[in-house]
Structure formats: structure tokens, C-alpha cells
Amino acid sequence: MKTLDRKALIQWALALVVSLSVLLLPETEVFTGQLKVYLTITLLAIFMFAFELMDSFIVAVGLPVAYIVFKLTDAATAFGSSWANTAVWMMLGSMLLGNCLEETGFLKRFCYWLLLKSKGHFTRLIWAYFIAGIVANYAISSGGIVLFCLLSYSMIRGFGFEKHSNEAAILMCMAYFVGNSLPVCLSYGLQIDMYMNIGKNFIPDLSLGWLEYAFYNLAFLPYMILVVWVMYRFIFKPKQKHFDVDVIKAEYDALGKVTTNEKKAIVITLCALFALIFNAQIGLAVAWIFIIAGVVCFLPGINIGNQKAIKQVNYSFLFFMAGCLSIGTVGMNLGVAEVLKPYLATIMDGGVYKAGIFLWLLAFVLNKIMTPLAAGAAFAPIVAQICASTGINPVPFFLIMCNCFDNVLFPYESAPALQTYAFGMISMRQFIKMMGVKTIINFIWIIVIMVPYWTILGLF
């Protein structure tokens, strides 16, 4: 029987003491007994994730069940917010597609080609990835995060990197950065559009175009470059910085001519990419594009998928993802946002810098117990209403909210973070370490660079 070491005992004690202490807080009209129980359960799960006290699969499976057992929600809500969420099915489709493509040998050929183009330098590969991400953000309307996760996963498998290695962690973080962080910086997306529509209810002439959004956020681009540089220079120093180009060339040549199955894989990949680029026009959700692409691999006459591809799907991470998605929905239904609304109103009356700092901090904390869209939907009306009454432009505050919600510490906080973690190539400790550093840099960058930049542009 395995016994707990001193470190684990301390971690368990800290998790239990902090979580259970919530139950000692006084109840109010909005801070109800149910909300206290919800926060206790959720905080305990967060500590278990952070300290890796128990397998994340077990914690995630038990989380929605705990909400149901303690009568915080019903089964339809707890499981409907997860298994009915297209993010889970999008991940299943991408895993299945990735395994099928790997079976054909196409991914290995593609990875060797990338290395040859980078002349065997891993750092060059990283920056090529970053530039490709900038370009792709203006081509793919949505679903880019899954596409980049699949690309990173393919490179890890193709290059033979061990899971949880520094190289694997770098590539999975790059998938998150170019698939989620860069779109926040560069592309007018769903979140800012929601905030602007809410804002128009209070300020009818409020407007923000696609080019304006990109221009206002242009100063975030150097921030992302800094984050990537810090990652591979200090956080995850790659052990293999250079590859023998002659060896890679020999391996690439040994693959021979492109096989029939590889050609099928290329066609399926290109069709999926085309569907992602024009998904808004064809009216097909991103999740179904990946599911359809994965299923097509098994059709008669194509047959590039097999039982091995099915068995290699990481089903435990799908359950992890589904369990975590229940956190935000249950919290929103229990009124988490109502508890914090009075504090937000006070924050917005404190001047530009104070409002910006505390809005960022409040959004960062709220993101731990609600999804970014739910938290944003709860706070955007208050921000817009206060700005309308004081004559302040709400746009920079909306931009702060968008950027802050990209700063996650744990994978469960957002669907893109879950999708990055779900491939199993980056450990929880690695994820928290890198995202924590990114969060600190983001906070400093917004206060030191972005607020003065927006002031110069006349937004304040």
C-alpha cells in the first residue's frame, strides 16, 4: 500500500482547510448556503488539479456528481453542460482524425519537411509556427485552436518527443498561444462582439470595427512575442535545440514516394481546412467538421482509419474535459456573478488605472469559477451602464476583459485550454507554470503599455 509523503500530506491539508473554511463564512441574501457548498467543492477540485493529488480523470468524473449529490443542480444541467457541449465532440473528432493521419505516415513526412525548412533549428520552427499562426488567424474563422493542437500533437509524435518533455510542452503551449491568445489580440471575435452588442443597449452609437479592434490591440503583439521568448528561453528550455539535417533528410527520403493512403489523408485534411475557413458561410459547426473528417477516414474505399486509431483516442481526457465544463454552468446558475457585482460597481468609479487594474483582477478570479463567456455576459452590462452614466468609453474595459479571460491557470477554465491539455502532451504542473508566467506578464503589460497606448489613441 502506497503511503503519502510529507509534501502530499501538507498539500492535502492545505486543500481541505482552505476549501472547508468557505463553509464558515456568513451567509447573505446573495451568498447563499448552496453557493458556499458549491465553492467548497469547486475549490477542493481546483487544489486536486493543481497539486495533482488525484488523477485528474477521477476528479473530473466526481465533480458533476458531487454537484448533483449535494443538490446544487440536476443531472440534466450537470451533464448537459458538458456532453452536450460541442467542445467535447470537437476534441473527439480531432483526436480520431489525428490518429488516422498518423497511421498513414503523412504526419511524419510533414514533420520532417517542417524541420528541413527550419534547417534543423527547433527555435526557428517555433517562430515559423508563430508567424503561421498570425496568418492563419485571418483565414480560419473559428476552430483554429483544435487545428493547431492537432499540428502540435503531430509534431510531438513525428519528432519522437516524450510527452511532458520540454519540447512537447513548448509545442502544446504554442498551439494555445496561436490558436487562442493571438486571435484575442488580432481578430474581432465572438467575445468582443457580445460585449459591443450589450454596450449598445446603454450607448446606442457605440461601435468598433474589425480594423479598429486590430489597431487598438496592435501593442499586444510584442507582448505575445515576449511570452514565446520567455517560454523557450527560461521556462521550458528545449533539450534538443538542433537536429542533424543529414539524418532528417535521410529519414525523409526513406519514406519514399507519397503513398495512396497519404494522398487520401492530404485530401481529407485540405477539405477539413476549407470547411474551417468557410464554416460561417456553409453553416457547419467546427465540431462537426472534425467529427465528419474523422468518420470519413473509415469509409469504404478510403479505409485509412483502423481499430488502433480508435483505441488510441484519449477517452479519459474527454471525461476530464466534460467534467470540468460543468463548473461554469453550475456556478452561473447559483448566482456567482451576483456576489461580485457590487464590487465591480465600486471598482469602475476609481479612475482609469484603478478601474483597469481591479477589473482585470476581478475577471481573473471570476474565470476560475465561471466560463469566460458567462463571466463576460454577467459583467459587460454593469461596465457599459457605469461607463454610460460617467461618459467613459467602455471599449478599453471590454478589451481588458477579453484579454484577461485568455489568462488561465488551470485547463478547466476555458474550452481552448482544455483542448490544449486534453492531448496529454503537457502536464498539469507545466501548464500552470507557463500560464502563470504569461498571466503575470499580461497584467504588467496592460498597466504599463496598453493603458497609456489606449490613452494616446483617445480611448480614455
Q: In this model, does residue 140 exceed pLDDT 60? A: no
**Residue 117: burial class (beta carbons within 10 Å; 0-12, 13-18, 19+):** exposed
Q: Which three cell numbers stand for residue 218?
A: 496592435
DSSP class of residue 408? Answer: -
* pLDDT at residue 155 in the model: 86
pLDDT given at position 348: 64
What the block records as the C-alpha cell of 292 is 465528419
Q: Which pLDDT band holds residue 280 (cuts at 50, 70, 90)?
A: low
Question: How many C-beta neighbours within 10 Å does residue 219 have?
Answer: 18
Residue 203: pLDDT over 80? yes
Residue 396: the pLDDT is 94
263: cell is 494522398
Are residues 195 and 401 in contact, defined by beta-carbon separation less than 8 angstroms?
yes
> How does residue 69 score in pLDDT terms, banded at 50, 70 and 90?
very high
Mean pLDDT over 253-264 rounds to 92
Rounded to whole angstroms, the Cα distance separating 410 from 56 reads: 12
Q: Please say if the pLDDT value at position 301 is more than 80.
A: yes
**pLDDT band of 427, cuts 50, 70, 90:** very high
Q: How confident is the model at residue 247 (pLDDT cuts 50, 70, 90)?
A: confident
What is the tens place of the pLDDT at every residue in 16-55? 999 999 999 999 988 999 999 999 999 999 889 888 899 8
pLDDT of amino acid 113: 85
Q: What is the pLDDT of residue 135?
A: 74
Average pLDDT, the chain: 87
Q: Which of 2-6, 38-42, 320-324 has the lowest mean pLDDT?
A: 2-6
> Quick check: 437 pLDDT over 70?
yes
Average pLDDT over residues 247-256: 85
Alpha-carbon distance 277 to 286, whole Å?
10
Lowest mean pLDDT among 9-23, 57-71, 362-376: 362-376
Average pLDDT over residues 432-449: 96
Please, what is the Cα angle at 178 between 176 and 179, to 5 degrees? 60
d(Cα 4, Cα 337) in Å, to the nearest integer?
Answer: 38
Comparing 137 with 164, the larger pLDDT belongs to 164
Picking from 224, 223, 222, 212, the residue whose alpha carbon sits closest to that of residue 188 is 212
Please give the share of the chain, as a percent, with pLDDT higher than 90.
Answer: 42
Give pLDDT, residue 372.
81
Place of cell 503511503: 3
More confident residue, 248 or 297: 297
Beta strands in 21-174 (DSSP E): none
What pLDDT is attached to residue 160? 86
- pLDDT confidence bin for 3, thresholds 50/70/90: low
The reported pLDDT for the residue numbered 58 is: 92
Percentage of residues of the chain with pLDDT beyond 70: 94
Q: Which of 165, 455, 156, 107 is nearest to 304 (CA)?
A: 107
As given in the structure block, the three cell numbers for residue 290 are: 472534425
How far is Cα 440 from Cα 230, in angstroms, rounded to an integer? 12
Question: Is residue 440 over pLDDT 90?
Answer: yes
Binning pLDDT at 50, 70 and 90, where does residue 119 land?
confident
Q: How confident is the model at residue 381 (pLDDT cuts 50, 70, 90)?
A: confident
In whole angstroms, what is the distance from residue 343 CA to residue 357 CA? 13
Instruction: List residues bridging with 242 in a β-sheet.
Output: 121
> Residue 442's pLDDT is what?
96
